[in-house]
Amino acid sequence: MTPKEQARVVIDEKLEKSGWTIQDMRQLNLAASLGVAVREFPTSTGPVDYALFSDGLNYVEDCDDVDAYKKVFKMIFEALGQYQHYNMMTNKAKS
């Protein structure tokens, strides 16, 4: 299993324990639950690992929601021993 596949297993588990339904793009059904995490969701800059949708069909844009999700992902990166990677991704790395 590649490091990305290993990370995905851990992330999926954490999201599912938090009440999210995990889906691949080819199985997309945003009405499946109130919280849907879609793997490899396409964006204008390329696919993202996960896109989070809440309350049925509303893409998560509320700052409070985004901050809450960032906290979850920070915990996941810390649990994987990838805190430096998290800092780099969130532009918190020191120059």
pLDDT value at position 12? 92
Per-residue HEC secondary structure of the chain comes to CCHHHHHHHHHHHHHHHCCCEEEEHHHCCCCCCCEEEEEEECCCCCCEEEEEEECCCEECCCHHHHHHHHHHHHHHHHHCCCHHHHHHHCCCCCC
Domain assignment present for 31: yes
pLDDT digits (tens, 9 = 90+) for 20-70: 999 998 888 888 888 888 888 887 788 888 888 876 555 554 556 667 767
pLDDT digits (tens, 9 = 90+) for 19-34: 899 999 888 888 888 8
Overall number of domains in the chain? 1
Domain assignment present for 9: yes
Does the pTM surpass 0.85? The reply is no
What range defines the domain where residue 10 resides? 3-89
Domain assignment present for 58: yes
